[in-house]
A = this chain, B = another copy of it.
Amino acid sequence: MPRTRPAPSHQHVHDWLTAHADSTGYRVKEVPLDQLEGWHTDPDTGNLVHHTGRFYSVEGLEVAVEDDATRDLALSRHHGEPGDRRWEQPIIVQPEIGILGILVKRFDGVPHMLMQAKMEPGNINTLQLSPTVQATRSNYTRVHQGNAVPYLEYFTRAGRGRPLADALQSEQASWFLGKRNRNVVIETDDDLPVLDGFRWCSPEELRGLLHLDNVVNMDSRTVLAACLPPSGAGLAPDEDSFAGALTRSAAAPSRLTGLTSRFTGIKARRNLTRRRIPLARAAGWQRGHDRIDRADGRYFSVLGVDVHAGDREVAHWSQPLLKPAGRGVIALVARRFDGVVQLLMRARTDAGTFDIAELAPTVQCLPGNHGSPPPFLDLVLSASPERIRFDAVHSEEGGRFYHAENRYLIVEADDVPPEAPEGFLWATLRDLQELVLHSHYLNVEARCLLTCLLALR
């Protein structure tokens, strides 16, 4: 059980992760939904539920979004997105709040994060780097009757360390109905043992790993948004690099109330109405014996898997997973104003958004799935290489999503108009770092991109 800081190279961490993957007998097999052990389809509603009524369910949702601003401006025709939208879809309902927690400890003054090699059935490469604790409420209150969750007490008992961040944060609102997890960072001085499968990682190692495809999982990325120090923090104030101009906003006067005011104004004039409906009645969706999907193959499908795992709390289980219809694009457009980088955020409302709207990346979509392309998609996909500040493929939560990949892009574009279009807002890195300490400002895709911003060197 090493208690010292590992050599500062992300390659070492990656080798350790790969070695760990080879040593486990983790197997995932697709099975028809009708044969999913422990799960059944309610004969009245068509909803997919666990026999205990716990964990999560797949149900139907009817959604209507009205927006005075886009209706008035008839922006719908410009942007290919109607001001008023109305649709039905399957959605994952998981009211329980889990814990995504990272334990931080300083070695030689540098904060290190205790990360975990963790398998999830939906992961493309099985094993990814996870937070210290990644546990649903069912996990940690032992509904599974599995093993105890290591290091849990740092996050559930007060006084076991200093909280650096702690808020309920939303997850993929296209696929989850109002789902949140507690995102929590605790700093400790304890000389605690490092268990097998865990490792202290430096900020520099994590930055390196974040540039690799499908290594740092979503649960890590969302929590790192609140604790990874920006690499440009030590740069000279006149540093002309993108990272320098990015972190320069820390010295600029706070404009946060201006930003939150525009955001609150958008929320106040947007109406999100929704009603849970029987899944069997969701228009456009069909239920086969093996999966739930659409005749046109768009958006996503729901399938089932059998999982055999060596070192999880439970050694064998079955579950449904949501599989997106393709690889998505999650992109941030950046532009410098007076030497300070501004990031173009979009106030976005999805089927499952907890509170009307959250600040999302400039672009967040499955290209080709939604009729005409959303604003700025062409700009980010056609950006010349010297404009691209970040480009890596990352996975979304492998415990609920099957091979759900997104291309995360940060593009500097000095030719976008300084006036943000209706529903968009310019924000600085500092703004995002302040907002991520509170609930329901940044959606999970924006938090993941914030972590990518902090990984820039």
Contact = CB atoms under 8 A, between A and B. Distances in A.
A151 to B, nearest CB: 16
A261 B437 contact: no
A165 B268 contact: no
A66 to B, nearest CB: 11
A440 B437 contact: no
A264 B156 contact: no
A262 interface: yes
A268 B440 contact: no
A166 B437 contact: no
A248 interface: no
A239 interface: no
A369 interface: no
A167 B97 CA distance: 24
Contact of A355 (B257, B264, B439): B439
Given A97-B268, A267-B168, A268-B182, A262 B437 contact: no
Given A267-B168, A268-B99, A268-B168, A261 B439 contact: no
Interface in A138-197: 141, 156, 158, 162-168, 182, 184
A337 B327 CA distance: 56
Number of copies: 2
A209 B138 CA distance: 52
A158 B265 contact: yes
B166 A260 contact: yes
Given A156-B265, A184-B264, A264-B182, A257 B163 contact: yes
A228 B3 CA distance: 52
A264 B167 contact: yes
A258 interface: yes
Contacts of A440: 439-440
B168 A262 contact: no
Interface string A366-388: 00000000000000000000000
A104 to B, nearest CB: 13
A12 interface: no
Contact of A163 (B99, B167, B258, B267): B258
A438 interface: yes
Contacts of A354: 355
A185 to B, nearest CB: 9
Among A97, A99, A158, find the residue whose CB has the most chain B CB atoms closer than 10 A.
A97
Nearest to A441: B438
Among A99, A167, A264, A273, find the residue whose CB has the most chain B CB atoms closer than 10 A.
A264
A162 to B, nearest CB: 8
A162 B262 CA distance: 11
Contact of A158 (B156, B184, B262): B262
Nearest to A267: B168
Contact of A260 (B167, B262, B264, B267): B167
Interface in A254-283: 257-258, 260-262, 264-265, 267-269, 271, 273
A354 B440 CA distance: 13
26 contacts: A68-B141, A95-B271, A95-B273, A97-B268, A156-B269, A158-B262, A163-B260, A164-B257, A165-B257, A166-B257, A166-B260, A166-B264, A166-B265, A167-B260, A167-B264, A168-B264, A168-B355, A182-B264, A182-B265, A182-B268, A184-B261, A257-B437, A260-B437, A355-B355, A355-B439, A438-B438
Given A95-B273, A168-B268, A440-B440, 18 more contacts: A68-B141, A95-B271, A97-B267, A99-B268, A156-B265, A156-B269, A158-B262, A163-B258, A164-B257, A165-B257, A166-B257, A166-B261, A166-B264, A167-B264, A168-B264, A168-B267, A168-B355, A438-B438
